[in-house]
Structure 1
Amino acid sequence: MTQAMKIAIVDDEKDMRQSIGQWLALSGFDTETFASAEEALSQLNGDYPGIVVSDIKMPGMDGMQFLRKLKGVDSALPVIMITGHGDVPMAVEAMRIGAFDFLEKPFSPDRMTELAKKATQARRLTLDARVLRKELSDGSALMNKLIGSSPVMERLKEDILDLGQADGHVLIEGETGTGKTLIAHALHAVGARASKKFVLISCAAYDEDALARRLFGPSEQDEPIPAMEEARGGTLVLEDIEALSTTLQARLLTAINEQGNPSETRIIAICNLQDEGKTCESELRADLFYRLAALRITVPPLRQRGEDILTLFTRLSEQFSDEYGCDAPQISAQEAAQLLQAPWPGNVRQLINIAERAVLQNRRGTGTITSLLMADTEETEPAMTTEGKPLKEFVEAFERMLIDNTMRRHKGSIVSVMDELCLPRRTLNEKMAKYGLSRSDYLS
């Protein structure tokens, strides 16, 4: 669940800080008050999940000194300054130092609420970006995002770990929505270049001249440095590699040949070709293709991942139910079979959309998984893949999902799970062992 934003209110006048705190609390904020800047500094750090509202004139450390200290702790922490009528020039100076905004006494409570909302939204974006950057530099965190234990996913994880340690260029192929960019991040994060630059460029997002400048330079004013230079020593990811013109293919090949070997900059090329009869090999000049495809990963489509589909649906439903503050939908055996049989042309991206819509439907008490699958294809019945699966696979996948969901709901209570599923303990233990489920994974 998303962490609630806090507001630290710092003012030496008790009545003022209490009135601000009460008003913001009534507006739905989580507030805490401090009688001095020194007291607040002892509690605030660079990961503070919120913002600061501070008076400027205070005994001891005043608001300006406090602001400078806070900017030293976290330059991106939003600080709203409160000033008296004669202190407006000082408030302007505070803005120059890095204050988020200032309020002149007497101020409107509604204006305070409006500023607090803007500041907390900015803070949330900052903290979310930090979490994302940390995840994208943490190989184990990224590997954990590759959910699933099907044979094709286990093979994919092994390939990532093996090729991540290698030094050759890599070509990633696969259908749209399979997570190719996530895999590029994982290849970088589990290898020796994890601490180096990771630069991602979509070749389809630029016209030819702009892409040439972005890749090779010279950069125009206010443009970033060329990607080949920016990624030096690290990893350069080229999404939609098939969109490169023949001219830029030649320039890229020259740049690769000039660096001699991948030890300078590793290139991960991502191919998103969907047109029947076309491949990355057919669209790229042969010498460039074979340089980029020194190592190769083909990402499996979702329809080939068996019970991973139900595991993913469960995890995604739990995430969205936390986000929207409601229960995750409980799916029937028929719906589980339909999820397993769906062709999933949009792959994991499509499954994410289905899971979110299923949670929203469940919150309203309307709709079914079946209706969502039909809406995606505009058919009167859910579409089914032509890749046949034995009945045993459907039964086992649903059984595993049912036990997994029930264990999660009861937080690992074996007795509660036995009662709900009407299973003797020995049978439950045998099935959990069969499906690789461990009670310790569900304990709060």
Structure 2
Amino acid sequence: MAQAMKIAIVDDEQDMRQSISQWLALSGYDTETFASAEDALKVLGPEYPGIVISDIKMPGMDGIQLLKKLMGADSTLPVIMITGHGDVPMAVEAMRVGAFDFLEKPFNPDRMSELAKRASNARRLTLDNRALRRELSGGTQIMNKLIGASPVMERLREDILDLGQADGHVLIDGETGTGKTLVAHALHAVGSRAGKKFVLVSCAALEEDALSKRLFGPMMPEDSQLPAIEEARGGTLVLEDVEALSDTLQARLLSVMNQQGTPAETRIVAISNLQEAGKTSEDVLRPDLFYRLAALRITMPPLRQRGEDILTLFTRLSEQFAEEYGCDTPQVSAQEAAQLLQAPWPGNVRQLINIAERAVLQSRRGSGTIASLLMSDHEEMQPVMTTEGKPLKEYVEAFERMLIDNTMRRHKGSIASVMDELCLPRRTLNEKMAKYGLQRSDYL
């Protein structure tokens, strides 16, 4: 379960601070309030896990001065400014400095919630991107994050290595939650542009005018940030939710792509997150833009097609969450392993992450089952199974592999301890490890 996004509320009027805080708390946000810009600056920094809502007119340091300091520390931090009625020049100045948007008093609480949601989504993307870049600074490390031994994952890794070395634009599509942004990072990390700029823009997080300026400019002379197409020059520009581009912006993007030489000055990696039934990237993009992007294409495999990878991923995630929460990793029974393998996983890896975390939490409490978690996600499904049956032998082998893998990891490669726990003779254990591609050296 994702942690609630923080919202810092800066206003010298206590009633205003409290009313904004109460409204946003009801919407599920974690709010904190500050009576002055000076107090807020003691907490707000480049890694602040949230957004800021600030009044413009305050004694001492006013909202514009606060905004300038915040933009100087982190130009991607979304700051929503509150202006007085009819105070258009101050609102214009705030947007010029870098404000995400502004609210005019008296404002509609629903409008505030809508802005907070858009700003929070943009902030989450920025922080996730930074964390991923820190963690996955090299091509080898990022490829290691693409866990799985299934044929579709082997093929995906091969495609990434091949397309990473190519220099054309790329379209990544597939179901939601399959890891498309991770693959975009991998394409950049394993190619000739590794070490150059990697710029990610969510096309769905900005309104059309703001998105146009972010992608193509013109930017104000005082802005420290270049338009994305210029910022990513020599590197990679990733466009998440490319289908959200209007016809006008699609035409402009195509024009920019056509003006670039060969190889392209800026490599475009477009990510399509279409969720409408029966819709594809080809249906919503201009044909000329689609074919330019789809000349090199990666379609992400859904989790339900990845077989034993489901158990491998669940085990790794459970171990990580158990360590985070300071408890034991829940043990998976043969029946639960079969349920995990049979579930349809409409939310793919993102859903599996959620299930693994909840499984750890309920195991810590000593209650609940994996089946109940799957059912709670999809109450309308009776039972939670795919329509594609598998031979019993496949389920048995998948569970057996997971059991040996988990036991080897727990005992850090101690063959004697694994033989003792699983009641297996040495020869049988060796044969099964060879069969499932498990090597003792991986656990030491």
The answer to whether the superposition gives a TM-score over 0.5 is: yes
Asked if the contact 1:373/1:382 (under 8 Å) is kept, the reply is no
Asked if the contact 1:235/1:268 (under 8 Å) is kept, the reply is yes
Distance 2:184 2:128 in 1: 21
The residue that corresponds to 1:403 in the other structure is 404
Distance 1:168 1:195 in 2: 18
- Percent identity for Structure 1 against Structure 2: 82
The residue that corresponds to 1:62 in the other structure is none
Deviations 1:189-230 (A, max 9, x none): 000000110000111111111111011001245473110010
The residue that corresponds to 1:147 in the other structure is 147
Q: How does 1:255-404 map to 2 (within 5 A)?
A: 255-379=256-380, 381-404=382-405
Return the offset for 1:275: 1.2
The residue that corresponds to 1:107 in the other structure is none
The residue that corresponds to 1:137 in the other structure is 137
Q: CA RMSD in A?
A: 2.2
Distance 2:381 2:151 in 1: 33
Deviations 1:398-444 (A, max 9, x none): 0000001111111211111112111111111000000011111112x
Distance 1:188 1:129 in 2: 13
Would you say 1:219 and 2:219 are equivalent positions? yes
The residue that corresponds to 1:6 in the other structure is none
Q: How does 1:56-205 map to 2 (within 5 A)?
A: 132-205=132-205
Would you say 1:424 and 2:425 are equivalent positions? yes
Amino acid paired to 1:411:
K
SS in 2 for 1:200: strand
SS in 2 for 1:137: coil
Would you say 1:413 and 2:414 are equivalent positions? yes
Asked if the contact 1:175/1:274 (under 8 Å) is kept, the reply is yes
Size of the aligned set, in residue pairs, is: 321
Distance 1:211 1:128 in 2: 20
Asked if the contact 1:233/1:265 (under 8 Å) is kept, the reply is yes
Return the offset for 1:391: 1.7
Q: Which region of structure 1 is more displaced relative to structure 2, 323-332 or 270-279?
A: 270-279
Distance 1:292 1:129 in 2: 22
Deviations 1:314-338 (A, max 9, x none): 0000000111110010011000000
Distance 1:383 1:222 in 2: 52
Asked if the contact 1:167/1:263 (under 8 Å) is kept, the reply is yes
Would you say 1:440 and 2:406 are equivalent positions? no
SS in 2 for 1:236: strand
Asked if the contact 1:170/1:294 (under 8 Å) is kept, the reply is yes
Asked if the contact 1:338/1:382 (under 8 Å) is kept, the reply is no
TM-score normalised to structure 2 length? 0.69
Q: Which has the larger radius of gyration?
A: 1
Asked if the contact 1:370/1:382 (under 8 Å) is kept, the reply is no
Return the offset for 1:389: 2.1
Distance 1:348 1:129 in 2: 17
Distance 2:136 2:414 in 1: 35
Return the offset for 1:380: 7.5
TM-score normalised to structure 1 length? 0.69
Return the offset for 1:382: 4.6
Deviations 1:65-99 (A, max 9, x none): xxxxxxxxxxx9xxxxxxxxxxxxxxxxxxxxxxx
Shift in CA distance, 385/129, structure 1 to aligned 2, threshold 3 Å: closer
The residue that corresponds to 1:11 in the other structure is none
Distance 1:263 1:128 in 2: 27
Distance 1:130 1:197 in 2: 13
The residue that corresponds to 2:255 in the other structure is 254
Distance 1:182 1:376 in 2: 24
Amino acid paired to 2:141:
A
